[in-house]
Amino acid sequence: GAGVSQSPSNKVTEKGKDVELRCDPISGHTALYWYRQRLGQGLEFLIYFQGNSAPDKSGLPSDRFSAERTGESVSTLTIQRTQQEDSAVYLCASSLDRGASYEQYFGPGTRLTVT
Amino acid sequence: AQSVSQHNHHVILSEAASLELGCNYSYGGTVNLFWYVQYPGQHLQLLLKYFSGDPLVKGIKGFEAEFIKSKFSFNLRKPSVQWSDTAEYFCAVNIGYGGSQGNLIFGKGTKLSVKP
């Protein structure tokens, strides 16, 4: 079946502009996660959604970052007034439910470059 | 804050050599442990996981990992690597019973290059 998809695959933007990244999780997966990976670093948790519960935003690095999810489907991660340090690969993952018992399936990522 | 350390940034081996990649985590409570692999041009995928029970877990493609609680370690091993094992390997932790926190905490990754 279809895996997690993300768009765009690559995004180059100028410093100060806003960007929107999209994630389509696997159908039926109630949990959705956003991570980012900066060059030479591990994946860094940003935010996660579980069903209709309030999202866990504890990993968002600043108030320029926000994310939304429509029900149990598409999610968008928005970065306002982008900075060069926002350059990274942004990865989305989904799982059938929250918790370690449920494998997280990762998308291919969006490579964001802020010039 | 909880963290995961992977000791090696880049490991280069010849085919048939044995592999051990180190992973240590800093959390004193219940943990769930994972190794993920990212082959060139592919998505990150789960290699193996440990929740409880036998501390030696076996994963796909002949990989195994051993959880040593006293050392806060979860090292990945393979007795004989193949060229197709060339990839980046990430150790990850999910804290709390049943993974109640949800999100994974990742190490920085280890690139493995296997020479044919």
Q: Does A25 touch chain B (CB under 8 A)?
A: no
Q: How many CB pairs under 8 A join A and B?
A: 66
Residue B98 has pLDDT above 80, yes or no: no
Q: What mean pLDDT value characterizes chain A? A: 92
Q: What mean pLDDT value characterizes chain B? A: 91
Q: Does B24 touch chain A (CB under 8 A)?
A: no
The beta-carbon neighbor of B32 closest among A45, A91, A100 is: A100
Residue B97 confidence class, pLDDT cut points 50, 70, 90:
low
Distance of CA A17 to the CA centre of its chain: 18
The predicted pLDDT at position A40 comes to 82
Residue A9 has pLDDT above 80, yes or no: yes
> Per the CB < 8 Å rule, is B99 touching A98?
yes
Q: When comparing pLDDT for B11 and A58, which is higher?
A: B11
Amino acid identity for residue A76 in this structure: T
User: What is residue A34's three-state secondary structure?
Assistant: strand
> Per the CB < 8 Å rule, is B104 touching A42?
no
> Per the CB < 8 Å rule, is A3 touching B109?
no
Residue A100 confidence class, pLDDT cut points 50, 70, 90:
low
Average pLDDT of the residues in A69-98: 93
With contact defined as beta carbons under 8 Å apart, do A106 and A24 qualify? no
Nearest to A34 by CA among A89, A102, A71: A89
The predicted pLDDT at position A53 comes to 85
Residue A115 confidence class, pLDDT cut points 50, 70, 90:
very high
Percent residues over pLDDT 70 in chain B? 95
Q: Does A8 touch chain B (CB under 8 A)?
A: no
Residue A102 confidence class, pLDDT cut points 50, 70, 90:
confident
Residue B86 confidence class, pLDDT cut points 50, 70, 90:
very high
Task: For chain B, give the longest Cα–Cα distance.
Answer: 42
Average pLDDT of the residues in B34-62: 93
* DSSP track, B61-106: GG-EEEEEGGGTEEEEEESS--GGG-EEEEEEEEESGGGTT-S-EE
ω into residue A61 within 30 of 0, thus cis?
A: no
The predicted pLDDT at position B72 comes to 94
* Cα-based torsion angle of the residue sequence B99, B100, B103, B104 in order, rounded to the nearest 10 degrees: -30
Cβ-Cβ contacts under 8 Å, B107 against chain A: 42
Distance to chain A for B42, nearest Cα, Å: 7
Average pLDDT of the residues in A42-65: 91
Cβ-Cβ contacts under 8 Å, A45 against chain B: 103-105
Average pLDDT of the residues in B44-51: 92
Nearest to B62 by CA among B76, B51, B75: B76
Q: Does B59 touch chain A (CB under 8 A)?
A: no
Residue B102 has pLDDT above 90, yes or no: no
Residue B100 confidence class, pLDDT cut points 50, 70, 90:
low
Residue A99 has pLDDT above 80, yes or no: no
The predicted pLDDT at position A41 comes to 84
Average pLDDT of the residues in A37-60: 89
A9, A30, A43: best to mutate for the B interface, most B CBs within 10 A:
A43
